[in-house]
Amino acid sequence: MNSWVQKRDLFVIVGVSGDLANRKLLPALYRLSHDVPSESRFRILGVSTDPACSDNTFREKSQKSVKELAGVDLDSAWLDETLFFQSIGQGGPEDYRALVQRVESLEKSESLTGNRVFYLALPPPVFPVAITRLGEAELNEGPGWTRLVIEKPFGRDAASAESLNKLVHQYFDEKQVFRIDHYLGKETVANLLVFRFANSLFEPLWNRDRVDSVEILVAESLGVEHRGRYYDRAGALRDMIQNHLTQLLTLTAMEPPSSFDADAIQHEKVKVLHSISPIGPGDVVFGQYARGEVDGKPVTGYRQEPDVAPDSRTETFVAMRLRINNWRWQGVPFYLRTGKRLADRVSRIVVNFRCPPVSLFQPFVFSALRPNTLEITIQPDEGFDLRFEVKSPGVPFRLVTQNLHFRYSEAFQKSPEAYETLLLDVLLGDTTQFVRDDWVEASWRLYTPILEVPPQVAPYPAGSWGPKEADRLTSLPELDSATAATP
């Protein structure tokens, strides 16, 4: 049993009627606490603008919605003992004063610790108002600790991210703030630091002398589904590159931290961003899916999706080449690629090692010698594959590629869901797998010039691996350091 679930803390979900709360947050909190006796369990206060909702109707709606969206059947006794509701009406100052009274009343009637989490399960445009109202109502501090959780995307560009950080810091100390990215809760992502720094086999090879290139792919076979209105204002760069893929990039490329401390790890991740050269127009390809086939079934193009403008130029695909100009990675290209309606759903990091400088086997190998590769699969089948060459038995002399593989599902019991892991970290106060303010701002500064002058959007058929124009990025010769530093 986790020690924190035996503390009677209060978890406040602002925006509890939304998809995120019912699909992810409530199921994760239920799994974390359903085996804990009621007298030792935390409490959840759902908050929304519904003026007619009560504790009982909220419990009934939550049970139905969670079952429908997440396939989790919330126990009725757990609902009655754990879930409460408070309306904030129009979200004005007086509504938040009523929220203060309800929080204090619950803490008294349920004998809670005074520790509070405020989770903003809200659309990004509402973040500033909610943060301001919480601060003005003095809910930024309480009898115990107070923590604020903010979903991505955190800002739309460099200026908006800096402005939002400034607002957050007006009321909350940075140590209180947990900017959540659910990708960081996946076991394979969390294991990257252990994989790199706890195994002496890999660290000596993790540099420009032995690595030829690094590829980071997050591919989705689904389209925008019901998110058309949001996605048409965001696009793949804002939705995926700036957060998910850049997190994977900094974890892969960072230097060893001085300790396994959250600040030490965050510091090294930020240093990677500061080392990346400005991204030139020739290093980025945008794409947008058209009609095609996925799993043998015809699917519509992006412009035919609900709530998408018929002449939209929003990118659903991004391929990008980055250069990290530091001692470890000078001259090693990092390729980032993400898109919707691609051929398969897969997230992985591939480290391509350099080929031997002289091939002893040229008389026997009629094609180029394949490099050793390390493939880190984040989803759907979490694990690692190391590919290497061996001699095939018998004659003629022939080389074949073989795999050493590891899968979490084979070695361990079912891993916890990403939100379950991250919510536990919030309650423990561990910020290691969350995003710090300077990381957010450095990331947005890197990508904002692309958003200001975006490249042309190339169409690609749904069910493919993206536009053909993206393939040229990996075929371009690497530039020398002087040229690489020039936008």
Q: Among candidates 248, 245, 255, which has minimal Cα distance to 203?
A: 255
pLDDT recorded at residue 447: 97
In the predicted structure, residue 190 carries a pLDDT above the cut 80: no
Written as six digits, the tokens of 418 are: 């990403």
**Token pair 């007086």 is at which residue?**
94
pLDDT recorded at residue 119: 97
CA–CA separation, 273 and 443 (whole Å):
7
CA–CA separation, 34 and 426 (whole Å):
18
Written as six digits, the tokens of 400 are: 């074949």
In the predicted structure, residue 286 carries a pLDDT above the cut 90: yes
Q: Dump pLDDT digits (tens) for 351-381.
A: 999 987 766 666 665 556 778 899 999 888 8
Q: Among candidates 31, 37, 122, 129, which has minimal Cα distance to 71?
A: 31
Q: Which domains does the chain have, with CATH numbers?
A: 3-151 (3.40.50.720), 185-415+436-484 (3.30.360.10)
In the predicted structure, residue 456 carries a pLDDT above the cut 70: yes
Catalytic site positions: 244
Between 480 and 149, the more confident residue is 149
What's the rounded mean pLDDT across residues 283-297?
Answer: 93
The answer to whether 466 touches 181, Cβ cutoff 8 Å, is no
The answer to whether 334 touches 201, Cβ cutoff 8 Å, is no
Written as six digits, the tokens of 270 are: 């930020």
**Token pair 């943060």 is at which residue?**
131
In the predicted structure, residue 398 carries a pLDDT above the cut 80: no
Average pLDDT over the chain reads 88
pLDDT recorded at residue 118: 98
pLDDT recorded at residue 5: 54
What single-letter DSSP state applies at residue 208?
A: T
CA–CA separation, 230 and 232 (whole Å):
6
Pairing of β 292-294 and β 297-299: antiparallel
pLDDT recorded at residue 481: 37
pLDDT band per the 50, 70, 90 thresholds, residue 487: very low
CB atoms inside a 10 Å sphere around CB 108: 9
CA–CA separation, 386 and 389 (whole Å):
10
pLDDT recorded at residue 2: 52
Q: Is 350 helix (H, G, I), strand (E, B) or coil?
A: strand
Q: Is 301 helix (H, G, I), strand (E, B) or coil?
A: coil
pLDDT band per the 50, 70, 90 thresholds, residue 387: confident
Choose the weakest-confidence range: 199-208, 212-221, 278-287. 199-208
CA distances from 137 to 99, 130, 133, 313 (A): 9, 11, 6, 42
What single-letter DSSP state applies at residue 317?
A: E
What's the rounded mean pLDDT across residues 256-274?
Answer: 93
How much is the pTM? Answer: 0.88
